[in-house]
Amino acid sequence: MEGYAKIAERISKHPELGIYRRFGALNAQNILYLQAEIHELEADLRNYAEEDAAQPRDSERSKYSRNWHKLSSSNDDRRQWNTVCLIREKLKEYNDLLAQQALITRYYRKPRGYDLDILRTCLRSTSLPDYLPGLDSTIWDDPVLSQFDLVSLHPDNPEADDRLTHWISSYFIGPFHHLVGRHFKAKSTDFGEENLTDYSDAAIVKLSSILATVVSSVFPIVGVIILFFVQDLLARIGIIASLTAVFSFVLVVMTHARKVEIFAATAAFSAVLVVFLGADG
């Protein structure tokens, strides 16, 4: 098995590699063209309606605006009804396109960088059965497309998408595998002959949680130790302000915590340190 069949098999085993183009510019251009077409049809419909309404009162056409049956079944000038039918078809197509684009914008997310890197590795190497030699192989390589036009169908996992987990996946796993992991970690049976190793998201998330827990535990202890050795009151206030600022910065960088959660955690952290503000050391 090779080529697209191999890529499809790999995606079925690793859904996070299901990364596709949404063709945002082409979809927008298509909607714009359809919008312009409907806009002109609307103008034509208004003109035909005015022309029909201006006919003598005893004519069939003069009754079109008040009698749907005559409008739809009359053998007289049928331009107005034909335009209505055409607009109906175009509006259905237009509304479907808008709904699809709204769905893509709302539910599909940008692919994670390390998932995209893995997919690129599989597609670039001539020794792998996924290798694509044609123009279609550049879909995942273009930096502009990677930034704006690629979407992932893999369900969003907030625990695996925080900044700390992303950093571990992007910058730690590679060096770790090169120095240590390759001596202990067996090749994944999913990748077998391709000599690729699979590190599960669950293990990475667990490592991220352990690291975040350790950091959150160490911060108050470090603050208390520093305040214990500082006697000057103004210096203590400055240290508390600095540590609180660093703590809130770490929360922003390492997590996807909401503003209210950051405020609450920062307030609790500063409250612990303030207890030692008036302590006599």
**What does the pLDDT look like over 46-75, one tens digit per residue?**
999 888 888 888 787 888 888 888 888 887
C-alpha to C-alpha distance for 126 and 131, rounded to whole angstroms: 6
């927008």: which residue's tokens? Answer: 28
Domain that holds residue 56: 24-107
Q: Are residues 161 and 145 in the same domain?
A: no
Look at the chain and report how many structural domains it folds into: 3
What global pTM score does this model have?
0.67
223 near 243, Cβ under 8 Å?
yes
Instruction: Tell whether 80 and 30 lie within a shared domain.
Output: yes
Report, as an integer, the average pLDDT of 26-36: 97
**What local confidence, expressed as pLDDT, does residue 227 receive?**
86
| Domain co-membership, 166 together with 149 | no
Both tokens assigned to 148: 């704006």
CA 185/CA 179 separation, integer angstroms: 11
% of the chain surpassing 70 pLDDT: 86
Q: How far apart are CA 204 and CA 119, in angstroms?
A: 19
The per-residue pLDDT for range 151-206, each reduced to its tens digit, is 888 766 655 667 777 777 777 777 776 777 666 655 555 544 455 666 677 777 78
Whether residue 277 is found in the same domain as residue 188:
yes
Average pLDDT for residues 267-277, to the nearest whole number? 85
Residues 182 and 239 placed together within one structural domain of the fold: yes
pLDDT at 125 over 60: yes
Owner of token pair 């714009």: 32
The last residue of a domain, from among 93, 124, 156: 156
What are the beta bridge partners of residue 151? 20
What integer pLDDT is reported at residue 184 of this predicted model?
Answer: 66
- 14 and 101 in a single domain? The answer is no
- Same domain, yes or no, for 188 and 243? yes
- Residue 63 burial by CB count (10 A; 0-12/13-18/19+): exposed, middle or buried? middle
Centre a 10 Å sphere on the Cβ of residue 145 and count the other Cβ atoms it contains: 16
Contacts with 103 (C-beta within 8 Å, 6 or more apart), sequence order: none
Contact of 255 with 163, CB cutoff 8 Å: yes
Same domain membership, residue 117 and residue 99: no
User: Cα–chain-centroid distance for residue 59?
Assistant: 59
Q: What is the mean pLDDT of residues 21-48?
A: 95
* Rg, Å, the chain Cα set: 31
* 225 plus 92 within the same structural domain: no
Q: Are residues 268 and 214 in the same domain?
A: yes
Q: Are residues 188 and 82 in the same domain?
A: no
Instruction: Say whether both 71 and 203 belong to one domain.
Output: no
